[in-house]
Amino acid sequence: MATAPADPVTKPRPTSNLRWWIGGLLFASTVINYLDRQTLSVLSPYFKQDYHWTNTDYANIIIAFRIAYSLGQTIFGKLLDRVGTRRMLTLSVVWYSVVSILTSLAGGYYSFMAFRFLLGAGESANWPGATKAVAEWFPKRERGLATALFDSGSSIGGAIAPYLILWIYFNWGWRPAFVVPGCLGFIWLAAWRRLYHPPEVHPQISAAEREMILRDKGESAAETTGKARPRWGDLLKLPQTWGTIAAKTLTDPVWFFIVEWFPIYVVSKGIEVKSGLFTFWVPFIAADLGNFFGGGVSGYLIRRGWSLGAARKALVVFGGLGVTLLIPTIFTTNLFLIALLFGIATFAYASFSTIANVLPADLYHSESVASVSGMSGTGAGICTIIAFKLIGYFSDERAAQAGHAFDPIIIAAGLIPLAGAILVLLLVRNNRATEAGLVRRI
C-alpha cells in the first residue's frame, strides 16, 4: 500500500528590510515606555493639589524612579550582554507594564514613591537593550538613523501622553490613566516574541540582508579575535568610555527636566494646564524631528566621505550650542515664544542625544555595547537625581518670585549640555586603545 509523501517543511517567506521592522518594534517599545512614565508627570499639577505635595515632595517621588532607573541601566546592561536582547527586553516590558497597572492602587506619597521605584527598575533595560539590538541588526552607516528611530519614541510618547492621559483623567479619573498605558506593553510583547531573533538565525531574513549584516559584523569580529570579554574596570580605563558617559550624563537630565517638570514650569509662569496643552506637545515633536535630523545628517556626512567621528561630532556641537536657547525663556511669559524656544532647544538636544545613544555601538564591540550604554544611563541617572533634588529645593525657595521660580534651573539646563559637547570632542578620539583593538576606529 503506497503512503502519501510527507508534507515538505515550509520555510517562511523572507521579509524585505527586516531590520527596519525590528527598528519599528524598538520605536514602539520606547513610545509605550514613555507613556507609562509620563502619566505621573502629566497629572502632577492635579496630584499636587489633591495630595498637598510641594515641589520637593514631587521631586522625591520622581527621584525614587531615577535611583532604580540609574542602577538598573548598568546592571541590566551587563545582563543584556550575557543573556541576550530578546529575553531581557521581554522581562523588562512585562515588569514595567505590570507596575504601571498596579500604580492605580496607590493611595498617597509613599505608595507613589514605591511604585515609581519599581517602574524605574523595569524601564531601565529599554535603552541598553535597544542600543544592543541596533548593534546586532544594523551596519554602521545605518546605526545613526536606526538609533534616531527608536529614540524618537520618547518624543512621540511624550507628545501623545498629555492628550491620552488627560482625556482618560477627565472622563474616568486618574487610576485608569495608569492602567491603559500598562496594558499596551502586553500587546507589544506578542509582536516582539514573534519577530525578534538574532539575524544569524532569523527564519524570515533574506540571504542578502543576512550577508550584509554579518559582513559588517565580521569586520568588527576580526579586530577582536582571541581577546577576552572586557570587564567594567577595563572599559572605565578608556577615555572613550568617559566621553560616552559624559554625552548622556550632561544632556539627558535636561530632557528629563522637560519630561517631568515642564507642566509645573508652565504653571509657574501663570499659564493654566488646559490653555497651555499645545505647549506640552511642541518640545516633544521638535525632539522627534531632531532625532531624525541627527541620525540622518550624520549618515549623510558619512556617505559624503566624512569620517565616522567627524560626522558624529558635528551633530554634538550643533546640539550643545542649540540647547542654550532655553535660557531666553526666563525673560518671557508669552506662551508662543516659550513654545518656540523650547522647540528649537529640544530639536538641538535630540540631535545630540541620537549621537550619544549611538556612540556605544560606534565605539565598542558587540560584547560591550550594552554594558557601556548602561554605564552611560547610570551616569545620566545620577546627574538627574542630583538635578531633581536641586530643582525641588530651589523652585520651592523661589516660589514667591512669581514667574521666576525656575530661572537658575533654566540657565543651568541651557549651559550643561554645552559642557558635555566639549568633553565628547576631547575624549572620543582615536588613540592607543584604538590601535590595540579595544575600541573601534572612528
Give the closest residue to 99 by CA, choosing from 133, 50, 65: 65
147 φ, ψ to 5°? -65, -40
**Rounded to a whole number, what is the distance in angstroms from the first to the last CA of the chain?**
68
| Number of separate helices (H) and strands (E) present in the chain | 17, 0
Mean pLDDT of 6-22: 72
Q: What is the pTM of this model?
A: 0.72
Mean pLDDT of 195-220: 81
Q: 59, 359 in Cβ contact below 8 A?
A: no
The C-alpha cell that represents 212 in the structure block:
550584509
Express each pLDDT in 277-300 by its tens digit: 667 778 888 988 998 899 889 988
The C-alpha cell that represents 29 in the structure block:
517599545
Mean pLDDT score of the chain, rounded to an integer?
Answer: 85
Helix (H) or strand (E) holding 14: none
Express each pLDDT in 125-148 by its tens digit: 888 888 888 888 888 778 878 888
Q: 387, 70 in Cβ contact below 8 A?
A: no
Q: Please give the share of the chain, as a percent, with pLDDT higher than 90.
A: 33
Question: Residue 219: its pLDDT value, please?
Answer: 55
Q: 319, 421 in Cβ contact below 8 A?
A: yes
Q: 409, 395 in Cβ contact below 8 A?
A: yes
Express each pLDDT in 94-122 by its tens digit: 999 999 999 999 988 999 999 999 999 99
- Which residues, including other chains, have CB under 8 Å from residue 428's CB and lie 6 or more apart? 239, 240, 243, 244, 247, 309, 312, 313, 359, 363, 442
Q: 356, 265 in Cβ contact below 8 A?
A: no
CATH of domain 18-435: 1.20.1250.20
